[in-house]
Chain A
Amino acid sequence: MTDSATAPQSVTEATAARSNETVLSVRDLWIEYNTMSGPVRAVSGASFDLHAGESIALIGESGSGKTTLGLGLLRLLPKSGRAQGEVQYRYRDGRVVDVQRLSAEEVRRFRWQECAMVFQAAQNALNPVARVWDHMLDTARAHRSMSRAEVRERSERLLAMVQLEPRRVLNAFPHELSGGMRQRVLIAMSLLLDPQVLILDEPTTALDILTQRAIIEVLRSIRSELRFAMLFISHDLALAAELADRVATMYAGKLVELGAVRDVFYEPKHPYTLGLINAVPQVAGDLFEISSIPGAPPSLLSLPTGCSFHPRCGYARERCQTDVPPLYAVADGHTSACHFHSDVHLERKVVEAVD
């Protein structure tokens, strides 16, 4: 693929991916945390499929349950967390397992070999007294038996793919690398055992623009080369617009909208997604009015009745206060949990047009 690959092509790719096999299938996943104030439902009945090689962006504000969902898929929840529901994973040989039922030993191998995760701000969590090489070796050996030579060879190849100088970086200590370089090291490390699925939590947050761009390009190129499926969690809509084939919006623990990236950005059908889009300024083109979503996300301890978004929603009517909206199919491959989804239209108010 060349750089001239434009959006319509990427979307064709997404459609192709959709017809492919599902690698991760999540059905009615509930995750609760036990807190001193009682049980808190961080994820409520999430269902979606991740297809081989596709990329899904999970967007939403802080506290919407995005990270919990990611951790839940890998069974990495803290002790206070409890998950219920199905997470079906399909191995390369076609075997399908429920991740929730894997034994401790099987989960250990599942993580990293099958499904790896790059955690939020993990670039600051590398062991400061271990060289990158030691991190690579430890990671590889914790999950699979590999010879040093094998680890060396694969590390070097992956580091080159993330645009780093393998020999220099392998010998470096974390503090000798910039934040952007450490993030690329982590991406390389996560792919060490050739997983089918990579989960990234806020992969570009807190990095400078040019560093963010480098990470985006690295993710784009390495994914087209290695063809893993990607689920990335971000509050940054622009990152979703860049890298996602499909976009899933989360609000108060629920998946409220899911669809192909162009459908969700150009014809959002959930008022919350619409609100997020209207809140992000754009550099190119006209100067648009941007507006905030009134109010604040609800506490998960006391969710509003009916649709959790109704107190903040400009489209809400009486029914929204009582009836929990199901996921309506609004178009081919596009779902929205809004009773009045057909009222929802994106209209951007132009403050000053640029000719």
Chain B
Amino acid sequence: MTEPLLALDHVSQVFRTRQGEVRAVDDVSIAVEPGQVVCLVGESGSGKTTSAKIAAGLRRPTSGAVRFHGQDIWRLDHDAFRTYRRAVQYIHQDPYASLNPVHNVYDTLVTPLRHHGIVRTKVEEARRARDLLALVDLTPPENFLFKYPHQLSGGQRQRVSVARALTLNPRLIAADEATSMLDVSIRVSLLNMLKRLSSDLGVGFVFITHDLAIAKYFAWHGDIAVMYLGRVVEYGPTPTIINSPQHPYTRALLGAIPEPDPDVTRQRERVRLRTAEISSLLHVPPGCSFHPRCPLFEQGLCDTLRPELAPIDERREVACHVVARDHAVALAG
């Protein structure tokens, strides 16, 4: 088997805070094939952002490995690491904070081009900047090249962020809720643009969202990893996860989403959680961390033993004692 483009291999990230240790990411493994989209889905505090930053090499994990074409990125030599850095780009979730306010669009785009020696001449540089803006639908480019971030709308800023991420012809983009702060229409046009990058340029994505409807749309041909308190609790192909979720947390999330269709949303079956409140990462519950909220909770099992992510069918993995047992019983029966 060939190595995936990028893989997180049992990655954990522990932050030391004044209140104690916080395990923001706990034993996460995911793999992204070339051109593939993997969505990390979960509530705030689920570790999806930290996982994406680890994937992009912006954070060194406390344990575990990040493999790029099978090579542990933190053991690469200088040149190979630089290659990885160029191939994997990160788009910040806040377009207001991620662009330097004193750089115009042109400077923002050509700085990485110069730094990595991709362009040799001014003419080449200007042409590349124009091409990049066209790629993200900021046309005509002349209208945008010399604008400063404050002269752009939120959606335009986000597009400049994407164009900057594309300067180095990346093979993978980690995008952190790139679309969540914007109005629906702007959000969709960005999403469709990113989809086009993925299909036309073959760019792979680690895409982070709390919205499973967005994940369904963006990653239909890819995978979804559902995260809860730092761990992946269900992982598999998008249609499988969306149409037949197995982990009680995935089911709860899918059932909880309000839908833009009055009949569908009012008739939907909802999973009743035992509590709406998410546990704190400072005091992660023992056993399965979802057990205080879980409708399938079984005392003595779920609050003592931590369920590991394990396959229950060809490609899907679930971390739940009850689901795994019922599944095994069904197979045996």
* Cβ proximity bits B253-265 to A, threshold 8 Å, 1 near / 0 not: 1101111111111
Residues of B within 8 A of A210 (CB): 43, 252-253, 256, 273, 276, 278
Report yes or no: A242 in contact with B266, Cβ–Cβ below 8 A. yes
Is residue B192 within 8 Å, beta carbon to beta carbon, of the partner chain? yes
Select the residue from A237, A277, A279 with max chain B CB neighbours within 10 A: A279
Distance between Cα atoms of A277 and B259 in the complex (Å)? 11
Structural contact, A261 and B260, CB atoms closer than 8 A: no
Write the B224-260 contact mask toward A (1 if CB under 8 angstroms, else 0): 0000000000000001001100000000111011111
A328 CB-CB contact with B under 8 Å: no
Distance to closest chain A CB from B234 (angstroms): 15
Q: Is B276 within 8 A of A282, CB to CB? A: no
Whether B184 pairs with A279 at a CB distance below 8 angstroms is yes
CB of B201 within 8 Å of the partner chain: no
Give residues 44-60 of B contacting A (CB, 8 Å): 44
| Interface members, chain A 205-230 (any B CB < 8 Å) | 208-214, 216
Instruction: State whether the Cβ of A285 lies closer than 8 Å to any Cβ in chain B.
Output: yes
Chain A 267-295 interface 0/1 with B at a Cβ cutoff of 8 Å (1 = within): 00000000111011111110100111100
B185 touches A275 (CB 8 A): yes
- B61 interfacial by beta-carbon distance below 8 Å: no
Q: How far is the CB of B193 from chain A (nearest CB, A)?
A: 10
Which of B78-86, B110-118, B209-217 forms contacts with chain A? Answer: B209-217
Known: A210-B252, A210-B256. A281 touches B210 (CB 8 A): no
Give the residue among B188, B266, B277 with the most A Cβ atoms within 10 A: B266
Closest to B154 in A: A62
Cβ contact within 8 Å between A265 and B217? no
B contact residues, range: 35 or more
Does A291 lie within 8 Å of B259, measured CB to CB? no
Query: With A284-B264, A284-B268 in contact, do A241 and B257 touch (Cβ < 8 Å)?
Result: no
Q: Which residues of B contact A163 (CB under 8 A)?
A: 276
A242 CB contact (under 8 Å) in B239, B254, B265, B278: B265
> How many pairs, one residue from A and one from B, have CB atoms within 8 Å of each other in the complex?
136
Say yes or no for B155: interface residue by CB 8 A criterion: yes
Q: In the complex the two chains form, is B43's CB within 8 Å of A282's CB? A: no
Decide if A181 is an interface residue (CB 8 Å cutoff): yes
A282 and B260 within 8 A (CB): yes
Docked CA distance A151–B86 (Å): 62
A235 within 8 A of B: yes
- Say yes or no: B261 contacts A235, CB within 8 Å: no
Known: A280-B260, A282-B260, A287-B220. A209 touches B185 (CB 8 A): no
Complex Cα–Cα for A5 and B264 (A): 12
Residues of A within 8 A of B184 (CB): 61, 235, 237, 276, 279-280
Give chain A nearest CB distance to B139 CB in angstroms. 13
Is B186 engaged at the interface, CB distance under 8 Å to the other chain?
yes
Known: A6-B267, A287-B216, A292-B192. A241 touches B276 (CB 8 A): no
Chain B residue contacts of A216, Cβ below 8 A? 258
Partner of A352, one of B44, B213, B220, B264: B220
Contact: A281 with B214, CB < 8 Å? Answer: yes
By beta carbon, the residue of chain B nearest A245 is B262
Expressed in whole angstroms, the Cα–Cα distance for A212 and B44 within the complex equals: 13
Residues of B within 8 A of A214 (CB): 276
In the complex, what residue of chain B is closest to A241 when comparing beta carbons? Answer: B262
Which one, A7, A208, A261, A283, contacts B254 given CB within 8 A?
A: A283
A236 contacts B258, C-beta separation under 8 Å: yes
- Residues of A near any B CB (own CB < 8 A): 5-7, 10, 61-62, 163, 178, 180-181, 208-214, 216, 235-239, 241-242, 261-262, 265-266, 275-277, 279-285, 287, 290-293, 296, 351-352, 354
CB-defined A-B contacts under 8 Å, sample of 26: A6-B266, A6-B267, A10-B266, A178-B278, A208-B44, A209-B210, A209-B212, A210-B273, A213-B258, A235-B184, A238-B265, A241-B266, A242-B258, A242-B266, A262-B263, A279-B184, A281-B214, A281-B216, A281-B217, A287-B216, A287-B217, A291-B188, A292-B192, A296-B186, A351-B220, A352-B220
Counting from the closest, the 6 A-B pairs by CB-CB distance are A292-B189, A238-B258, A213-B256, A214-B276, A208-B43, A281-B213
